[in-house]
Amino acid sequence: MPAREPNQPTLFDLEGRRFVVTGAASGIGRAMAGALLGQGAQVLLVDRDAQALQAVLAGAHAGRVHIGVCDINHTAAFQQLVDGFGAVDGLFANAGISGGPGFGTEAGRELGTLSQQSMAQWHQIMEVNLCGTATCMQAVLPAMKRRRHGRIVVTASVAGVQAEPFVSYAYALAKAAVVRLVQQSALELGPHGITVNAIAPGFIKTGIANGRLHDTDVAGLLVPRIPVGRLGEADDLAGLAVLFASRASAYITGAVIPVDGGYLLNQKEPIAC
């Protein structure tokens, strides 16, 4: 095999590429942004939490980190951020919110049932997790289509792939809809040189759901269902984020890849925690 020319980029090199990451102030979004920066990318970090974004900026790669304080459902504001950032090579539509505990948990045995699902909560979860994702995608598409190049990566969930009693109805159905959004848009956008893929995290220790996965009692019930024997960390998604952002994934689109330690393979009794 011939040696690589000195100036030839590697498969995972993102030098000079520009990415937008939503929900970037913490958790999975922050880990994804860090992974992209580590490969040389310019990254616009978008989040509602201005203080947390400043903390990220303080410790990040000088000159390649840009921040935008914005609610992704404020369409005009988000569009302005994207336009001001310049030609976008990729979007990581990661921002999302929890919908409370599911019916399979101790806390959700009453409030998490279908009959008790609040319609106000239902609309809020759909607005952020589904409509917000679609809005972010719409914002980057015109420029990507003009350049005939783009990478869109959406954060789905294992709860969008199979029924999951640990999470609320609204959250599970929003993530299931996100999976279909990825598949539908991959079909449409492929001819424009744009790939669309989803990462479906399992139980990752972040601040979502009030940090419930940091509770040792909750972890003790979940871990026996995970073949690798532990809960996930946000950095466990970093490698796949770089793959989807890079030219290494040029022929991958419409994929929904779980990062769950094998959780989806395990068919034990539903969780009751």
The Cα-based distances of 51 to 59, 68, 85 in angstroms read: 13, 11, 20
For every residue of 15-38, DSSP letters joined together read TT-EEEEESTTSHHHHHHHHHHHH
In angstroms, rounded to a whole number, what is the distance separating the alpha carbons of residues 48 and 63? Answer: 22
Instruction: Return the pLDDT at 244.
Output: 98
Averaged pLDDT, 91-118: 86
Q: How confident is the model at residue 1 (pLDDT cuts 50, 70, 90)?
A: very low
Least-confidence region, from 94-98, 151-155, 187-191, 243-247 = 94-98
**Which of 133, 105, 136, 94 has the alpha carbon at shortest distance from 259?**
94
Residues in Cβ contact with 39 at an 8 Å cutoff, skipping those fewer than 6 apart: 12, 13, 14, 15, 242, 245, 246
> Model confidence at 271, in pLDDT bands (50, 70, 90)?
low
4 pLDDT higher than 90: no
Asked whether residue 210 carries a pLDDT value surpassing 90, the answer given is no
> Is 171 noted as a catalytic residue in this protein?
yes
Tell me what the pLDDT averaged over the chain comes to.
Answer: 90
pLDDT tens-place string over residues 226-240: 999 999 999 999 999
| pLDDT given at position 265 | 94
Q: How far apart are CA 108 and CA 91, in angstroms?
A: 34
β-bridge mates for residue 153, sequence order: 92, 197
- What CA–CA distance (Å, rounded) separates 252 from 232? 24
Which band of pLDDT confidence, cut at 50, 70 and 90, is reported for residue 266? Answer: confident
Q: Collapse the DSSP code of 102 into the 3-class scheme (helix H, G, I; strand E, B; otherwise coil) and give the result.
A: coil
Lowest mean pLDDT among 13-27, 58-72, 127-141, 162-176: 58-72
pLDDT of residue 211: 67
Strand order in the sheet with 256-259: 65-69, 42-47, 18-22, 90-93, 150-155, 194-201, 256-259
**What residue ranges define each of the domains in the chain, with the CATH number in brackets?**
18-265 (3.40.50.720)
Q: Is residue 268 pLDDT above 70, yes or no?
A: no
Question: With 80 as the cut, is the pLDDT of residue 122 above it?
Answer: yes
Q: Count CA atoms within 13 Å of residue 129 on its CB side.
A: 28
Q: What is the pLDDT of residues 13-70, one digit of tens each?
A: 999 999 999 999 999 999 999 999 999 999 999 999 999 998 887 766 778 999 999 9
Q: What is the CA radius of gyration of the chain?
A: 19
Please give the residue that has the higher pLDDT: either 273 or 125. Answer: 125
